[in-house]
Structure 1
Amino acid sequence: MRVLITGGAGYIGSTIASACLDAGIAPVILDSLVTGRREFAEGRVFYEGDISDGPLIDKIFAEYPDIEAVIHCAALIVVPDSVSDPIGYYRANVTKSLEFVDHLLRNGCTRMIFSSSASIYRTGDDHTVTEESPLDPQSPYARTKAVCEGMFADIAAGRPIRILSLRYFNPIGSDPRMRTGLQLRRPSHALGKMIESYEEGVPFQITGTGYATPDGTGIRDYVHVWDLATAHVAALERFDELGTDVINLGTGAGTTVRELVEAFNRVVERTVEVVEAPARPGDVAGAYTRSDRARRLLGWQARHSVEDGIRHSLEWASLRDSRLS
């Protein structure tokens, strides 16, 4: 099998490409390198360009007519940035995705896996969600994902394409073989900020402490990026058998920010202290999945612990600058 991966030189896309290679699936990478890294595409079929570039999409399918499916990871994903630049986020995530699907249809591609987000859910009092939970995205980034899902559903209803949305919870970690990892030196998510605090020997800021969670801090379902990647392999292999268009990808367990700090301090030699700070624009209390749909339909469940994700993130952080020119 051959698969086209948009955003395949980014953090998640490159890890999916590695999992595909390990499973005997040949990835073709398309990435504009706005946030992706050329190094992450080394040794792989790579096209540099934009998903909205119709002639480029035509060229890819002409040169690799055996592409059987697409994994669409290309997107801007930083919540605070989406608050300050909603036009840029809707253009990159929605408008260009619409153009991309149009190009796929023209080239006869009938299968697409969409990298969606659990941030589109409205969470209940217990902060758990299933695929049937109501949607209530709280940031421009999250709304772009919800808009795309609705747009894709409309397109699939009237055109010969099937689109599966995999709703990610909160990816952490790296490829356990250290082929790729988070490319940013200053990531905005909690674990990235925690590693930055650890490296610099300064307290970690817990942003938001008044949420209705067990300890007042945000709660997330931290899923190892390698587990996410292997779920995509399972989805490719079972695509035509699936009886749904939406699957949550999470561990099924919630971890608060304070609990994440405790797990971090169990892994490192020198503990990180914390200070409290206001929530950032667009931040929400968070949620975790309680669905077993991924296990039932994909034969998949998360194998790595939060501590595994922290260890692999720290290992990658120690190697990142030497791996990225």
Structure 2
Amino acid sequence: MTVLVTGGAGYIGSHMVWALLDAGERVVVLDRLTTGFEWAVAPQAKLIVGDVGDPNLVEAVIEQYEIEAVFHFAGSVVVPESVSDPLGYYHNNTSNTRTLIEAAVRQGVRHLIFSSTAAVYGATGSEPVSEDAPLRPETPYGMSKLMSEMMLRDAAAAHGFTYTCLRYFNVSGADPLGRTGQSTQGATHLLKVACEAALGKRASISVFGTDYPTRDGTCIRDFMHVTDLVDAHLLALARLRSGGVSLTVNCGYGRGFSVLELIDSVRRISGMDFKVELCEPRSGDMPSVIADPTRAHEELGWKPVHDNLDKIVADALSWEAALARRDLRETLKRSRERDSIAGRLSAS
């Protein structure tokens, strides 16, 4: 049997593919490569370039490769963008998830693990939020994910498959082995932006809001290492395979750091200073979002091993430096190719 990873060429999905392969799984990736990269997919995995919203393609992939379980990462994730383009988010996140679920049901997929978000809670206050907290998403992004969760719940009850929804808080960092990381061009993830500023890829970093009711006036987030996150997914799959019932769990550490604290860590570890611009708050941002991870510990047996802000920052910086080297190699390669073509044209 084989595992399908949608969005497996993206940030979290590419980490998931490596983790599955490390665990001895056979992996197929479905990604349309809008924000992901072909080179980010582990070479041992089978990459199919296509849209998870194409029902015929999804069913054909599931049937051909005898897919037993699906990890669903494909989707749009920028909160402010969802406010300006709500229909795009309801299409890409909600409608396409419905298409995937229907295809999985038709082909008898047994397990589905869904990439959800803490944005389903909306405003949460300063205390860690549990899975039983009220679900009041304040952005189309959060609502698009909550609607997908509801579809999973209802479809599983009607059709007999099992699922796990993992509600992410703030995923950060990169593979400690340097195999993949956050590579999206123009990414809005705070740590990604700060690392780019530290390495001179950006002139500055913007901090949106400095008068929130927090310890330094900036937003507080539960920053979680991406490797710990994919470990939670592996445990979720093992639990479902062993007969576990469907489940929704938070993925976070249960403590948070402010925007300025993360920036200070980047400056200290990189040894580089960079310009920080203080700006007005953004629509949809909440003062503090911290997970209560008790259920993940108890139900999945999840024990994070990278729960350290400096570790998260160091791995992210290492990956950003590797990306810079890769970009330089690609630039030199293209330059040589242009010179070669120009030389042949001149000779003729």
What code does the residue aligned with 1:12 have?
Answer: I
2:199 is paired with a residue of what secondary structure? helix
Change (3 A) 1:36 1:124: closer
Taking structure 1 as the reference length, the TM-score comes to: 0.94
Equivalent residue for 2:244, pick from 242, 245, 250: 242
1:270 & 1:322 partners in 2: Cα distance?
A: 18
Pairwise CA distance, 1:243: 4.5
Within 5 Å, give how 1:120-269 maps onto structure 2: 120-200=120-200, 202-239=203-240, 240-269=242-271
Q: Give the aligned partner of residue 310 of structure 1.
A: 313
Q: Which amino acid is the alignment partner of residue 257 of structure 1?
A: V
SS of aligned partner of 2:288:
coil
Query: Does the 8 Å CA contact 1:221/1:253 hold for their aligned counterparts?
Result: yes
Q: 1:225, CA displacement in angstroms?
A: 0.6
Higher Rg = 2
Structure 1 residue 308 displacement after superposition: 1.1
Counterparts of 1:244 and 1:111 in 2: how far apart (Å)?
Answer: 9
Query: Residue 129 of structure 1 aligns to a residue in which SS?
Result: coil
Q: Deviations over 1:3-39 (max 9, x none)?
A: 1100011110010010111111121101111111111
Deviation at 1:290, TM superposition (A): 2.1
Cα separation, 1, equivalents of 2:115 and 2:282:
24
Aligned equivalents of 2:247 and 2:193: distance in 1?
34
**What is the SS of the residue equivalent to 1:210?**
coil
Give deviations 1:260-308, integer Å, cap 9, x for gaps.
1222233121234533211123222231112311111211122111111
- The two structures have a TM-score, normalised by structure 2, of 0.88
Hey, what does 1:23 align to over in structure 2?
Answer: 23
Q: Does structure 1 retain, via aligned residues, the 8 Å contact 2:36–2:184?
A: no
Aligned amino acid, residue 251 of structure 1:
Y
Post-superposition offset of 1:196: 2.6
Q: CA deviation at 1:322?
A: 4.3
1:123 positional shift: 4.2
1:282 equivalent in alignment to 2:272: no
Distance 2:123 2:208 in 1: 19
- Displacement of 1:151: 1.8
**CA RMSD, Structure 1 to Structure 2 (Å):** 1.8
Q: Distance in 2 between matches of 1:6 and 1:21?
A: 15
Alignment of structure 1 residues 101-112 onto 2, 5 Å: 101-112=101-112
Q: How many residues align?
A: 324
Query: How far apart are the structure 2 equivalents of 1:323 and 1:300?
Result: 34
Instruction: Give the match for residue 54 of structure 2.
Output: 53
Give the Cα separation in 2 of the matches to 1:144 and 1:19.
27
State the identity %: 37
Unaligned stretches of 5+ in structure 1?
none
In 2, distance between residues paired with 1:10 and 1:97? 17
Distance in 2 (CA, whole Å) between partners of 1:286 and 1:195 is 22
Partner of 2:341: none
Unpaired runs of at least 5, structure 2: 331-348
